Amino acid sequence: MKAWRVGELGEPRAVLTLTDVSVPEPVGRQIVVRVLASAANFPDVLMCRGLYQVRPDLPFTPGVELCGEVVAVGPEVTRFAVGDRVLGGTSLPHGGFAEYAVLDEAVTFGAPASLDDAQAASLYIGYQTGWFALHRRAALQPGETLLVHAAAGGVGTAAVQLGKAAGARVIGVVGGPEKAAVARDLGADVVVDRHTEDFVAVVKDVTGGRGADVVFDPVGGQTYQRTTKCIAFEGRIVIIGFAGGEIQSAALNHALIKNYSIVGLHWGLYNVKAPALVAECHAELTALADAGRIGPLVSERLPLEAVADALQRLADGTTVGRVAYVAGE
Ligand SMILES: NC(=O)c1ccc[n+]([C@@H]2O[C@H](COP(=O)([O-])OP(=O)(O)OC[C@H]3O[C@@H](n4cnc5c(N)ncnc54)[C@H](OP(=O)(O)O)[C@@H]3O)[C@@H](O)[C@H]2O)c1
């Protein structure tokens, strides 16, 4: 089968090679799938660079989430059978940017029939992260103001949709007019183009000086520092990631003075510490998708050959929503 492999660390376009390898065999609770679609995530970029918390041995195939058809199951698998259409997180080194990939049964779920393959592939990491951030970590309430950074990105688009579904007023911050249009189409009530506007001033303006109740921050660095200037009394800033490249430090005296919370989220850890919550979340997301209240924005459906270039564009911050490899494209 064909699979992209990372043999040395660096920028995606430079280190990814499309190679012929053998189809993996499942052991234990492993499930081998024919990949129907696999969505590109920023952690794929960080893994190519060797900068992610997970550092697979080289060589490995990236592609952390997918939708696939089960073709073989390990002897301990009980919930899935050959032919099932599933989604979930891959077991590296057998990631989704290949014709076949490996999932662990514990992080495999039925794919909603209401979503096509690329959308189903994109319902996992971004939407689970958005759900845990807004509901479990920040306890977002209807009527509150939610500020979403990188609102046209993968996890950002999910947070905008989930925020609206939860009855919040959503302010999306994006880089550039095309991304602004995307955030607006997704339902963001207010959109700020960070290239031309100061989001702190806009947030203060549209909240009558109060600030945002909940902030979803996948960018970090100076974006986080500016966020603390427009966080509401008893607001919650959820730390999602550092796509801007700088891991910030927090001024805790400022958090004390203004009565706000800084809340971390490592969604993947729930798969280890509280897997039942992940399954519950998947059921909630499926119900929302079936009801048409959320739907992953897949901006590009690409053939396998296009993956290295797509990952580089994700790394460069020029993609919107999810970009997915779709078998047969
Ligand atoms: N905590 C968790 O459990 C968890 C789970 C999943 C993902 N994440 C993290 O969430 C972040 C976003 O992941 P994603 O896959 O959804 O990516 P993404 O948001 O689609 O892409 C990153 C976005 O960040 C913005 N950005 C700002 N400065 C940037 C820079 N210097 N370089 C690149 N992008 C920059 C860009 O949007 P604008 O131009 O619109 O600002 C860009 O589109 C990553 O840091 C990822 O590791 C965390």
Sequence-ordered alpha helix ranges (H) in the chain: 12-15, 42-49, 117-121, 125-131, 154-165, 177-186, 199-206, 222-227, 252-258, 268-273, 275-290, 307-315
Summarize pLDDT for 53-64 with one digit per residue, the tens: 889 999 999 999
User: Which ligand 1 atom is the nearest neighbour of the CA of 267?
Assistant: 3
- Contact status, residue 9 vs residue 49, Cβ threshold 8 Å: yes
Of 172, 270, 265, nearest to 212 by C-alpha is 172
* Choice from 134, 149, 155 to test ligand 1 binding pocket (greatest atom count within 8 A of CB): 155
CB 312 within 8 A of CB 11: yes
Ligand 1 atom closest to residue 239's alpha carbon, by position in its atom list: 1
**pLDDT tens, residue order, the chain (329 aa):** 999 999 999 999 999 999 999 999 999 999 999 999 999 999 999 999 999 988 999 999 999 999 999 999 999 999 999 999 999 999 999 999 999 999 999 999 999 999 999 999 999 999 999 999 999 999 999 999 999 999 999 999 999 999 999 999 999 999 999 999 999 999 999 999 999 999 999 999 999 999 999 999 999 999 999 999 999 999 999 999 999 999 999 999 999 999 999 999 999 999 999 999 999 999 999 999 999 999 999 999 999 999 999 999 999 999 999 999 999 98
Sketch out the chain's domains with CATH numbers.
2-123+296-326 (3.90.180.10), 128-268 (3.40.50.720)
Work out whether strand 65-73 and strand 30-39 pair parallel, antiparallel, or are unpaired.
antiparallel
User: Within 10 Å of residue 12's Cβ, how many Cβ atoms?
Assistant: 25
Token reading at 12? 């995606």
Residue whose CB lies within 8 A of the most ligand 1 atoms, among 48, 219, 323, for a mutation test = 219
Among 136, 121, 155, CA closest to 265: 136
Does the beta carbon of 175 lie inside 6 Å of ligand 1?
Answer: yes
CA of 41 to the centre of ligand 1 (A): 8
User: Would the CB of 38 count as within 6 Å of ligand 1?
Assistant: no
Q: Which atom of ligand 1 is nearest to the CA of 151?
A: 40
For residues 48 and 267, give the distance between their C-alpha atoms in angstroms, rounded to a whole number: 20
Is the Cβ atom of 216 under 6 angstroms away from ligand 1? no
Q: Which atom of ligand 1 is nearest to the CA of 46?
A: 47
**CA separation for the pair 31, 26 (Å, rounded):** 6
Q: Where are the beta strands (DSSP E) in the chain?
A: 2-6, 16-20, 30-39, 65-73, 85-90, 100-110, 145-149, 169-174, 190-193, 212-217, 231-239, 261-264, 298-302, 322-326
Q: Write the Ramachandran bin of 10: left for phi over 0, alpha for psi from -120 to 50, otherwise beta.
A: left
Whole-prediction pTM value? 0.96
Pocket test for ligand 1, best of 134, 240, 248, 263 (most atoms within 8 A of CB): 240
Residue of minimum CA distance from atom 19 in ligand 1: 153
Neighbours of 193 (CB within 10 A): 18
Residue nearest to ligand 1 atom 18, measured at CA: 153
Number of Cβ atoms within 10 Å of the Cβ of 208: 7
- Token pair of 113, please? 């029939």
Cα 78 to middle of ligand 1, angstroms:
36
CA of 218 to the centre of ligand 1 (A): 5
Backbone angles phi, psi at 226, to 5 degrees: -65, -35
Backbone angles phi, psi at 243, to 5 degrees: -60, -20
Q: How do 30-39 and 16-20 pair as beta strands?
A: unpaired
Residues 73-85: b if buried by 16+ CB within 10 A, e if exposed: bbeebeebeeebb
Ligand 1 atom index nearest CA of 319 = 43
Please tell me the distance between residue 311's alpha carbon and the centre of ligand 1 in angstroms: 12
Percentage of residues of the chain with pLDDT beyond 90: 99
**Tokens 């807004």 label which residue?**
134
Does the beta carbon of 156 sit less than 6 angstroms from any atom of ligand 1? yes
Rounded to an integer, what is the distance from CA 214 to the centroid of its chain? 18
Residue with tokens 């796509």: 243
What is the residue whose two structure tokens read 């794929």? 44
- The predicted-structure confidence for 155-198, as pLDDT tens digits, reads as follows 999 999 999 999 999 999 999 999 999 999 999 999 999 999 99
